[in-house]
Amino acid sequence: MATLLVLGSKPDPALPPGAVIDAVGCANASGYSAARCGLPTPAYTVVSAIVTSGAASGRQSLRVMRGLRTEVLHLLPRPAARGAPLRRLLRPARELRTGPAWFRLRLAAAGYRWERFESRPLAAWQALVVEQCGHDPALIAQIERKQPSSGAYAVALGLADPRFDRVVVAGVSFELTHAYGPNPEIAERGTSSSRHTDTDVAVLAALARGGRLFTSEPIVAERARVPLWPASAAPHAPAAPSPGAR
C-alpha cells in the first residue's frame, strides 16, 4: 500500500517509521522539517499566499525556504477582504502581493524551487475538501465561517490523489508554532491558538471517516478522532539546516 506523509510545521514532529513513507506532501515551509528529518523531496507543497503578502510570519517562512524544493507547488489563495472599509480599500495592493505572478517571483527570489506550478481559485480548493468530506452540510457551514488551513488542504489533496492508498498526518498541533522559530503572529495576536483550529478539527474528523487517514500526532488523534499511527521509536536523525535557517 502506498503511503503519503503530509507534514506540517510543528516543532519536533512525531513521524511514522521511515519504511512506510512512500512520498511526502508539505504545507507552507514544512519542507524545512522534511529536509531536517531526511525525508524525500515533497511530491507537492501547498503554500498559502500569506507567505508573500508581506506579513511577518510569511517573511519568516520565506527565509527558511531558501534551498528547498518541491515537485509541484500549489498556490492557496487568500479569501477576499471583508469587514472594515479600509481593508476593502487596500484590497488591490493585497491582491498584487498574493497573486500568482508575484507569488512565483518572490518564492524564486527566495531560492525556493519547483518543477510544476499550479494555481486554482479558492472555491475550487473548498470544493475539493467538501467532496472528500462527503458534502457534510455542517462542515460546509463551518468552512463558510473560516476556511481550513493550508495543512488541511494538503491532506485533502493527498487523499484525492489515486497514487496513495493512505495518508498519515504529522507535524500538526492546531497552534501557530513553527519548527524554525517563534511565529511572529503569536506576539501580534497575543495567543498561540490558530484561527483555523475549529475548521481543521472538523475537516480532519470528516476525512478520517473514509478509513484512509491516520496520524502519528497524539493531539490530532485526540482532538479530531483521527486513528493513531504509531510514531517511530527511533526519530529520524536531523540533517544539516538549510542555508535559509541561519
**Could you give all domains of the chain from N- to C-terminal order, each with its CATH number?**
3-236 (3.90.1480)
User: What distances in angstroms separate CA 212 from CA 2, 36, 71, 107, 155, one per listed residue?
Assistant: 11, 27, 23, 33, 11
Task: Give the pLDDT of residue 237.
Answer: 44
Profile the chain (246 residues) by mean pLDDT over runs of 10 residues. Answer: 96 94 98 97 97 94 97 92 54 69 96 98 97 95 96 98 98 94 92 95 97 97 94 47 45
Q: Which residues contact 180 (CB under 8 A, 6 or more apart)?
A: 9, 29, 32, 60, 61, 64, 245
**Angle at CA of residue 27, ends 68 and 223, nearest 5°:** 145
Nearest-angstrom CA–CA distance, 49 and 84? 21
218: left (phi over 0), alpha (psi -120 to 50) or beta: alpha
Amino acid symbol at 5: L
Task: Give the pLDDT of residue 241.
Answer: 47
CA atoms within 13 A of residue 135's CA, in its CB half-sphere: 0
Task: Give the pLDDT of residue 42.
Answer: 98
Query: In a 3-state reduction of DSSP, which class is residue 193?
Result: strand
**Element at 118 (helix H, strand E):** strand 113-119
* Contact indicator for 189, 240 with CB cutoff of 8 Å: no
Nearest-angstrom CA–CA distance, 52 and 81? 16
**Which of 172, 175, 155, 156 lies closest to 217 in space, CA to CA?**
172
Nearest-angstrom CA–CA distance, 73 and 16? 24
Task: Give the pLDDT of residue 235.
Answer: 42
